Every structure is written in C-alpha cells, then in structure tokens.
Amino acid sequence: MVAKKYDRELGIRTTGLREWTNQSHYNRYEATPYQALETLFQSYTLKRHQRVVDFGCGRGRVTFYIHRRFKLPVVGIEAHDKTYEEALANKARYRVKARHITSPIVLKYGLAEDYKVKPEDTCFYFFNPFSDQVFKKVMANIVSSVERKPRTVDVILYYPLPEFKKVVRKYPFRKINKIRVPGAQDAREKFIIYRLEGKKHFDGEEQPLQ
C-alpha cells in the first residue's frame, strides 16, 4: 500500500479512520491521501517565511509531510484525545528521522475554533475537519488576525464542500488555484487555494486613485 510506504519513510502511522462518538460538528479522522499531497505541491509551493497550520491535524500526516518537504515551522491542532496522543507518538518517531530539520513542530491539543491565530501563521490547511458552523468561527479568527497584522495568507481546502466555499466567499479572499487529483473517482477530490492580501485590504492606507 502506497500510504504505508510513505508513512514508513516519515516514520509515522497515519492510515485508517476514527469516528467521533456523539459529535455532530466534528468530523472523523481520515488522512489526506499522499498522492493528493504530491499533486498539490507540484503546483503550489511554500516560501521560507511561512508557517502552516493544519486545523484538525489528526495523526499529523500533512503536518509532518510539509515539515519534511519544505523544512518550515508547522502547527497541528487536534481535538480528539486519542488521535492527539497518536500524533505525539508520530512526532517522536518522525523527529528521530528528521533531526537535521530545525524548524519547530507544534502539536496542540484543543479545539480549532479556540486557537489564537499568530502573526507568523500564513497558510491554513483544512481537510473537512468540522461543520461549516465551526469553520465560520475559525475563518473569522484568521481574518481578524490578518486585520491586526496585515499580511498575505492562504487557505487550502481539500475536498471542498459548497458550504465551506460559501464561508470563504464572505471575505475578500481570491481563488488562486484549483488542483484536481489525477485519476480521482470523486470530482470533489481536489484542492482549492484562496489568498487574502491583508496589506491591500486592511492596512488602512488609502489606495491610489486609478
């Protein structure tokens, strides 16, 4: 299995699913397929100054994959206690293999909607972690952080649902790319990347007349 091979290379275990019990807003654990990540990062790249936040990081596949590929600081937030413990165990094993990569990996146990977005956070990844009501709160937190510290930030949606796209469209984000996963059976197996240029929208300076 391809996923197990990638997992072995990273020293992590991320295959499988985990359902929540009695939760209507929080979605189950399921990792973004590695082939999808390979496709995404063939056309989308992260720059040296960026810090990536994976909201609902699960066992950490995306977090560790990005850390190894781009050697950037990454943050993963996970609310399921057992899944979070597994992410921590993965981090310990991954760190043995990736000792040479000095950028920090921060894994936080808690709710995505309670995460205080930091000025250094510039890229936000979502693979359907929760309901659109929760997504609305998280997006409001991202945008108010950009208002406080104007900067360019990207939001990446994997398997984007119409309700999520509707939330993003409430803000002055621009769709910069749509990346389909080759050979996917389901048309929703794609990434949409949105960009918000905070300096243009929120830094309070008047725009010159055209």
DSSP lists the bridge partners of residue 126 as 157
Nearer to ligand SAM, 134 or 143 (CB): 134
> C-beta of 161: minimal distance to ligand SAM in Å?
12
> C-beta of 172: minimal distance to ligand SAM in Å?
25
Radius of gyration of the chain (CA): 17
DSSP lists the bridge partners of residue 52 as 74, 123
> C-beta of 130: minimal distance to ligand SAM in Å?
4
DSSP string, 149-187: S--EEEEEEES--HHHHHHHTTTT-EEEEEEEPTT-SST
> C-beta of 170: minimal distance to ligand SAM in Å?
20
User: CA separation (Å) from 157 to 47, 117, 129?
Assistant: 19, 18, 10
Binding site for ligand SAM (CB under 6 A): 26-27, 29-32, 54, 56-58, 61-62, 77-80, 83, 111-113, 127-130, 134
Give the contacts of 75 (CB within 8 A, at least 6 positions apart). Answer: 51, 52, 53, 54, 63, 106, 107, 108, 121
CB-hemisphere CA count at 13 Å for 153?
32
- What six digits make up the tokens of 161? 């649902």
Q: Which of 154, 132, 133, 127 lies closest to 142, judged by CA?
A: 154
Nearer to ligand SAM, 26 or 171 (CB): 26
